C-alpha cells in the first residue's frame, strides 16, 4: 500500500522516493525539502511505539486512496467525489492518514525476516518519512545480527533501495529530526558502514552541531553516546559533552531504557568513574524506582556496569535487582545469567529465594548446562559457602556426561567446590573416575597452580590423587609451579605440604617421591593465605570460662598450640593415664592429648551444620596423629543458657570415655 502525500499550500512532509523517485533523486543528487517527522522510539523501532495505538478518528477506506487534486491550491477533494468534511478538518484527516500509513509500514517491516525482503518493501513505496527510513535501517540491523567484524553482503550494499536509504541521510542531515538522525547513525554504525565515509562523517558532524546547541532530548543523547562509543571508542571528545548534558536533565525524564544506556555509557569509561561519581550516585539512587520495569537483559547489564564501575556503595540497588532476578532466572540467556552471578559474587549478595530459583533452574537443565555458566554457578556456591545439593548433583552429572566441553580452568572451578564444601555427590565414583581419565589425557594442558588447587581439593574429601602425587612432588613440576619467581607463594607451599601429609597419613601404600623439606611450611595458619580458619574469639571466650570452671585453673589447658604437624589446635588438654588433666607445661606422664576444636560459624557451610573441607581434613589428620579430637560447634554452645550448662556440656564432651571422672 503506497503512502499518500496530501498536497496543500504548505511544504510536503519529509519523504524520499522508492524505486523510481528515490533512485532518481540519488542519481541526480537533488536535495529535497523534507519537513519535520515524527520521532521514533528506539526501543522498538520497527514497531513504531511512538505512534498512537488508539483508533483513528477517520477510518482509512479504499476510496480515500484515489488521486487528489486541487483547483485553487487550497481546496482539496477527491476527483469525482463529494467533499467529506470542512476545510478545518483536513489537518486531522491528514494526520490520521499518515498514522494509518505509518502503522501499516511498521507492520510490514516487522513481518520481514530478511534484508532482501525488507528492502523489497522499501522499494515499493513512493514516499517515506525520515523517521521510518531510520526504522528501516534499524530493522535491517535486527534481521542481520552479524558479528562485529563482518560487513553486510555485497548484494545488500549495492541494492538500490539500501543506497537510496543511505543517500537520504547523507544529502541533507540538517533536515532530519533528532530521532531520525541518532537512530539512523546508530543503525549505520551497527551495519559497519565505513566510519570514514562521507555519510558517517556528515551525520556525526550534524550530531555535534545539535549537541553544542543543546537541542537533543535525554533519549537521543543516550543513543548518540552509545553510538559514538562504538564508532570512536571511550576517548571520544563528544562523550564528555553528552554526559554533561545528561547530568543537567531531570532524573524523572529518564525512561528505564535511558537509565540502562547511561550505565552502559559510563561502563565504557570506568577510569572516569570518580569524575562522574556524583552523577552515578544520583542514578544509583534513582534506579531502584524503575527496577520493576526492566527486562532480564537490562538487569544483567546494570549489574555488570555496577561491577565495572566498582559501585560497592550501591548495595540498595543491588539488593533490589537481586529480588527482581528471582522471577527472571529461566529467561536469562547463558551469558546474562553468568554476568548476574559474577555481580553477586563481586558484591557478596545472597538471597535464599534466589538460590531456590537457581537450584530449580540448574536441576531442570542438568545435562544441557553451558560450561561457562556451570563453572560460574559453582564459583558462586564456593565463594558464598553454599552447600546446595541440587546444584552440586546436577553439575556432577553434567561433567560426567560432557567433560570434553570443559576447559582445564573450568574443570578446576567445577571440582574445587566439592572439596571446599566437603561434599560427595551420589555419583562420586563416576565423577572422580571421569576426572582421573581427563587428567591422564590432558595433564600437560592444566596450568600448574590450577592443577595443584584441583588435586588438593580432591584430597579434602578423601578422594586422594595418588596416581598424580609423584608428578606433583617432582622437581620439574615444582619448577613449573614456581615459574619465573624466586620463591613459591606460601599458599601453594601449604597445599603441597598438606598433600604430602595426606600421602603419609592416609595413603601409606604410596611409595613415590617425597616432598623436599624446603617446599614444606611450618604452619597452615597464616594471616593472608591459610588452610585453617582462625578461632572465633567470642565463642572461645565462652568455652574458656567453662574450661576454667571444669578443670579448676587456666593452668590445665593451652590455647592456639602449633603442633609439629603444621596444624594449630584451638585448645589442647593433656591427660595422664588415669584421665586427669595435667598442666599444659608438662612433658612427662602425658598419656593422651585432647584437641578441642572450637568451631565458629565460619568453619561451616552457610546456614548449615556441615563442616568445611579444610576443617574436616584437619580433624581427620589430628585423629590419625593420635589426638583425641573433641568438636565444640557454635550451634551447640549457643543452645546453652548458663555457665553451669557450659561446664556440664564440656565435661560430657571431654571426659565421655571416662565416666568415673566427675566435675
DSSP 91-148: HHHHHHHHHHHHHHHHHHHHH--SHHHHHHHHHT-S---HHHHHHHHHHHHHHH---T
Strand partners, 68: 78
Strand partners, 595: 572, 629
| SS3 label, residue 594 | strand
pLDDT for res 12: 39
Longest Cα–Cα distance in the chain: 126
d(CA 260, CA 295): 10
| Residue from 409, 414, 410 nearest 450 by CA | 409
Strand partners, 597: 631
pLDDT for res 45: 34
As a whole number of Å, the CA-based R_g of the chain is 36
Question: Which residue reads 595458619 in cell numbers?
Answer: 525
Question: Which residue reads 548446562 in cell numbers?
Answer: 369
Close Cβ partners of 219 (under 8 Å, ≥ 6 residues apart): 41, 42, 255, 257, 258
Close Cβ partners of 588 (under 8 Å, ≥ 6 residues apart): none
φ, ψ (nearest 5 deg) of residue 596: -90, 115
Sign of CA dihedral 202, 208, 214, 219: positive
d(CA 294, CA 255): 10
Residues of the chain predicted below pLDDT 50: 1-88, 90, 93-94, 97, 659-663
Q: What is this structure's pTM?
A: 0.79
Strand partners, 558: 572
Cell digits for 522?
611450618
Answer yes or no: are the C-beta atoms of 594 and 630 closer than 8 Å.
Answer: yes
Helical residues (DSSP H) of 191-314, grouped into ranges: 198-213, 218-232, 237-247, 256-267, 277-286, 296-308
Neighbours of 413 (CB within 10 A): 23
d(CA 405, CA 399): 9
Cell digits for 26?
540519488
Helices 130-144 and 90-111 pack at an angle, to 10 degrees, of 10
Amino acid at each position: 500500500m503506497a503512502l499518500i502525500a496530501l498536497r496543500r499550500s504548505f511544504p510536503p512532509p519529509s519523504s524520499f522516493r522508492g524505486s523510481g523517485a528515490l533512485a532518481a533523486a540519488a542519481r541526480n543528487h537533488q536535495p529535497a525539502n523534507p519537513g519535520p517527522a515524527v520521532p521514533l522510539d528506539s526501543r522498538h523501532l520497527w514497531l513504531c511505539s511512538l505512534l498512537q495505538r488508539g483508533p483513528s478518528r477517520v477510518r482509512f477506506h479504499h476510496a480515500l486512496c484515489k488521486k487528489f487534486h486541487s483547483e485553487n491550491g487550497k481546496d482539496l477533494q477527491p476527483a469525482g467525489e463529494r467533499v467529506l468534511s470542512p476545510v478545518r478538518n483536513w489537518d486531522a484527516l491528514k494526520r490520521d492518514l499518515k498514522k494509518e500509513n505509518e502503522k501499516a509500514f511498521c507492520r510490514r517491516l516487522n513481518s520481514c525476516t530478511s534484508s532482501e525482503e525488507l528492502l523489497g518493501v522499501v522499494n515499493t513505496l513512493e514516499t517515506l518519512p525520515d523517521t521510518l527510513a531510520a526504522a528501516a535501517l534499524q530493522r535491517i540491523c535486527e534481521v542481520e545480527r552479524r558479528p562485529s567484524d563482518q560487513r553486510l553482503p555485497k548484494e545488500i550494499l549495492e541494492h538500490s533501495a539500501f543506497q537510496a536509504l543511505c543517500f537520504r541521510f547523507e544529502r541533507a542531515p540538517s533536515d532530519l529530526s533528532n530521532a531520525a538522525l541518532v537512530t539512523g547513525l546508530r543503525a549505520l554504525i551497527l551495519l559497519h558502514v565505513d566510519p570514514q565515509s562521507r555519510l558517517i562523517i556528515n551525520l556525526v558532524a550534524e550530531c555535534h552541531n545539535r549537541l553544542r546547541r543543546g537541542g537533543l532530548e535525554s533519549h537521543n543523547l543516550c543513543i548518540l553516546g552509545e553510538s559514538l562509543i562504538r564508532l570512536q571508542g571511550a576517548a571520544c571528545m563528544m562523550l564528555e559533552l553528552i554526559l554533561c548534558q545528561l547530568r543537567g536533565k531531570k532524573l524523572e525524564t529518564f525512561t528505564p531504557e535511558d537509565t540502562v544506556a547511561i550505565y552502559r555509557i559510563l561502563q565504557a569509561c570506568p577510569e572516569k568513574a570518580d569524575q562522574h561519581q556524583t552523577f552515578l550516585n544520583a542514578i544509583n539512587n534513582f534506579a531502584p524506582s524503575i527496577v520493576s520495569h526492566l527486562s532480564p537483559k537490562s538487569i544483567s547489564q546494570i549489574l555488570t556496569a555496577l561491577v565495572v564501575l566498582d559501585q560497592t556503595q550501591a548495595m540498595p540497588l543491588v539488593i533490589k535487582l537481586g529480588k527482581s532476578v528471582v522471577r527472571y532466572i529461566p529467561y536469562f540467556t547463558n551469558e546474562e545469567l553468568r554476568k548476574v552471578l559474577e555481580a553477586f559474587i563481586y558484591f557478596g549478595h545472597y538471597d535464599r529465594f534466589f538460590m531456590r530459583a537457581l537450584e530449580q533452574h540448574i536441576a531442570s537443565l542438568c545435562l544441557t548446562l553451558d560450561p561457562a555458566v556451570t563453572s560460574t554457578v559453582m564459583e558462586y556456591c564456593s565463594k558464598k559457602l553454599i552447600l546446595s545439593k541440587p546444584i552440586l548433583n546436577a553439575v556432577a552429572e553434567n561433567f560426567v556426561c560432557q567433560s570434553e566441553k570443559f576447559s582445564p580452568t573450568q574443570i578446576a572451578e567445577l571440582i574445587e567446590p566439592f572439596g571446599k564444601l566437603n561434599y560427595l555427590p551420589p555419583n562420586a565414583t563416576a565423577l572422580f573416575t571421569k576426572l582421573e581419565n581427563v587428567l591422564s589425557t590432558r595433564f600437560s594442558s592444566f596450568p600448574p597452580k590450577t592443577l595443584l588447587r584441583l588435586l588438593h581439593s580432591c584430597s579434602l574429601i578423601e578422594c586422594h590423587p595418588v596416581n598424580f602425587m609423584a608428578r606433583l612432588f617432582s622437581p620439574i613440576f615444582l619448577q613449573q609451579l614456581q615459574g619465573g619467581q624466586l620463591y613459591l607463594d606460601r599458599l601453594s607451599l601449604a597445599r603441597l605440604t598438606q598433600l604430602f601429609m595426606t600421602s603419609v597419613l592416609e595413603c601409606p601404600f604410596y611409595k613415590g617421591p617425597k616432598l623436599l623439606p624446603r617446599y614444606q611450611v611450618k604452619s597452615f595458619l597464616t594471616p593472608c593465605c591459610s588452610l585453617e580458619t582462625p578461632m572465633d574469639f567470642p565463642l572461645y571466650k565462652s568455652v574458656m570460662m567453662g574450661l576454667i570452671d571444669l578443670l579448676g585453673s587456666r593452668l590445665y589447658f593451652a590455647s592456639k598450640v602449633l603442633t609439629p604437624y603444621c596444624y594449630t589446635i584451638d585448645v589442647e588438654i593433656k591427660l595422664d593415664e588415669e584421665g586427669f588433666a595435667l598442666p599444659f607445661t608438662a612433658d612427662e606422664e602425658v598419656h593422651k592429648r585432647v584437641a578441642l576444636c572450637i568451631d565458629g560459624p565460619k568453619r561451616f557451610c552457610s546456614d548449615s551444620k556441615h563442616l568445611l573441607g579444610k576443617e574436616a581434613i584437619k580433624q581427620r589428620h589430628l585423629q590419625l596423629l593420635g589426638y583425641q579430637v573433641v568438636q565444640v560447634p557454635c550451634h551447640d554452645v549457643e543452645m546453652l543458657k548458663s555457665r553451669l550448662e557450659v561446664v556440664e556440656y564440656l565435661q560430657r564432651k571431654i571426659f565421655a570415655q571416662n565416666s568415673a571422672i566427675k566435675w
